[in-house]
Structure 1
Amino acid sequence: MGASLHLMTLNVCGLPSRLAPLPERATLFGGHVERSDLDVVMFQEVWSARILATLKAQLPSFPHVAVRHGLAGQPAGGLATFSRLPLVAPRYTSYRWTRPDMGSPRFRIKRAVNGALQGVLTAEVAGLGVVVANTHLTANKDGDWSAGNRYHAFHRRQLGRLHEVLRGVGTDRAVVAGDFNIAADSALYPLIVDSGAWHDPFAATDPVTFHAEYLPDEGPAHRIDYLLVRGSPDRFVIEESEVLFAAPVRSDDGRSIHASDHMALSARVRWRD
């Protein structure tokens, strides 16, 4: 057998919310990650240098951090990939120029700004020849992923940009993970997996990855986060896959708090030689 990696993805909810403050939550989910044998952790919504510093303080055994900084020193796209193994050649590609062609002018302008602020971060795990891609697509605030929705063409363009980047990474050993903000039961799912070019370890179970109580109308939650492996399963083995932080975590003062409004996905992948 060849290279092996244990990976996790989590949107940390770096924007104001009804959750406990991020430093408090980071102590809890960071402690879990530190005690685990995870190799690579991909975070989304790391929107400031302060959030990045908070995460670094909780993950001392993950000294290698792939990030590209924006003009204000913030992680570009709110993306940061932490690793126990050296990471090389980090590259960030924005979803700039992806925009909807439906909705009001105000809606189209705001979503175009969102696209410019989000993107995909890639990095190679040194010595293993594995590229890890961390991404965050624009949120569908309508909660409607039908083909007639105003977000549909917008998300289609963002997925097109994502896979354009992924096809250019130069290796068959690749993982892409993050908050796609697209429901797994939507018409866009075939584009998420690029018509079968990517294997979805969670396809059979299709677990919800967002806590319904944090939805605006507390409507039904969906799987909107993904961890995908390039190629067909004859090239690799998924030794385990699980959902993390589905239940509240006990804080030091006895309160039950969620690690984030999202749940985390993790998988252990071993590539065949």
Structure 2
Amino acid sequence: MTTIRLLTFNTLFRGRARERLRALGAVLERSDYDLVCLQELMSPRNLAALRAVAHSYGYAARARAYPLVRGGLVTLSRTPPQRQHFTPFRPARPLRSEWIMLKGALATEYRVAGQRLVVVNTHLSSNRDDDWSPGNRYTQVQARELARLEELVRATDPSALLVVAGDFNVPRDSSTYQRFTAATGLRDLLAGDREPTYRPTRRWPNPPALDQVLLRAPAGVRVDGTARLVLREAVALADGTEAYLSDHYAIEAVLRIEPAAARRR
């Protein structure tokens, strides 16, 4: 049996991002995560600051769009990726500042114990109305992005183990999200769990579950997956102050892979 440990986390580009990323790097360096999917890591300098601390993650898959990291998407690993590809989302109205992020999906392929593993790290457009009804203007933008993501999922070789993770900005219990999972056959490791993945605030005391980890196992391979929220507490920064690492919580996923041949023994 092979075990893969994965983390997905929206790192929040505003505020003291570099200081928080250095603190995150220290957390990651002490961890046993094999793969780390990060969102909103748009500055190459901030990425360098993180990697200077989390030095055991020798590989950082990302797409460049000078002077930014395209889509703010970075996937860290301790083993080399075989290949990577960035799929952009098509900009759609209403006009908004997040267009500069050039959002999309970063697919990275690895070889783990003889098994092909494709990890798709993504970050969808935000819904500034906090209204995920089908007729909402931002929900329609997100539905088009999910359709683009569905194309990517369908194009991925079914013999590979596929993980799709990131900040979907779409609630887990919304009809838009449920249509996407039904159409792709992806299994949500936190299906039915409504615990917020965005840190509650006075303005937004009851946010929904916006971050997700989804899985598709190839035929003949059994994958038992569990997930939980982590990185919820404040941490010490280099100057001695404390801060939350982000306005989101992270999701930790543990995948236990058992090939069919092993089960027949």
TM-score tier, shorter chain, comes to: 0.7 to 0.9
CA contact (8 A) 2:119 2:164 kept: yes
1:78 to 68, 72, 76: 72
Give the equivalent residue in structure 1 for 2:134. Answer: 147
**Letter of the 1:88 counterpart:** Q
Q: Does 1:123 align with 2:108?
A: yes
Confirm or deny that 1:164 pairs with 2:151: yes
User: Which residue matches 1:193?
Assistant: 181
196 and 159 in structure 1: CA distance in 2 versus 1, 3 angstrom threshold? closer
Secondary structure of the 1:211 match is: coil
When you count strand as a share of all residues, which structure comes out higher? 2
**Residue 225 (1) aligns with residue 224 (2):** no
Does the 8 Å CA contact 2:84/2:109 hold for their aligned counterparts?
A: yes
Query: 1:115 and 1:182, CA in 2 relative to 1: closer, same or farther beyond 3 A?
Result: farther
Partner of residue 184 from structure 1, selected from 172, 186, 191: 172
Q: How does 1:1-273 map to 2 (within 5 A)?
A: 1=1, 3-14=2-13, 16-17=14-15, 21-70=16-65, 72-97=66-91, 99-100=92-93, 108-110=94-96, 114=99, 117-127=102-112, 128-170=115-157, 171-195=159-183, 197-213=185-201, 217-231=203-217, 235-238=222-225, 240-251=226-237, 255-273=241-259
TM-score (ref. length: structure 2) = 0.88
Which stretches in structure 2 are left out of the alignment for 5+ residues?
Answer: 260-265
* Distance (Å, rounded) in 2 between the aligned partners of 1:176 and 1:220: 25
Aligned partners of 2:148, 2:101: CA distance in 1, in Å? 12
Say if 2:224 and 2:257, in contact at 8 Å, map to a contact too: yes
| Whole-angstrom distance in 2 between the partners of 1:144 and 1:8 | 28
Is contact 2:105-2:123 (8 Å) kept? Answer: yes
**Any idea what SS the aligned residue of 2:209 has?**
coil
Q: Distance in 2 between matches of 1:229 and 1:198?
A: 5
Structure 1 CA distance, aligned partners of 2:180 and 2:213?
Answer: 11
Q: Flag the 1:236–1:142 CA change in 2: closer, same or farther, 3 A.
A: same
3-state SS of paired residue (2:68): coil
d(CA) in 2 for partners of 1:190, 1:196? 10
Report if aligned partners of 1:63, 1:83 keep a CA contact under 8 Å in 2: yes
C-alpha distance in 2 between matches for 1:186 and 1:136: 17
- TM-score w.r.t. the length of structure 1 is 0.85
Alpha-carbon distance in 2 for matches of 1:115, 1:269: 34
Equivalent in the alignment of 1:103:
none
CA RMSD in angstroms comes to 2.3
Give the residue type in structure 2 aligned to 1:137.
L
- Deviation of 1:267 after TM superposition, in Å, equals 0.7
1: distance between equivalents of 2:181 and 2:44?
A: 32
Percentage of pairs with the same residue: 33
- 2:7 corresponds to which letter in structure 1? M
1:51-100 per-position Cα deviation (integer Å, ceiling 9, x unaligned) = 22122112100001111111x14221111100011112110010025x25
Deviation at 1:253, TM superposition (A): 5.3
- CA deviations on 1:84-135 (whole Å, 9 max, x unpaired) are 11112110010025x25xxxxxxx2338x72981000001113430000100
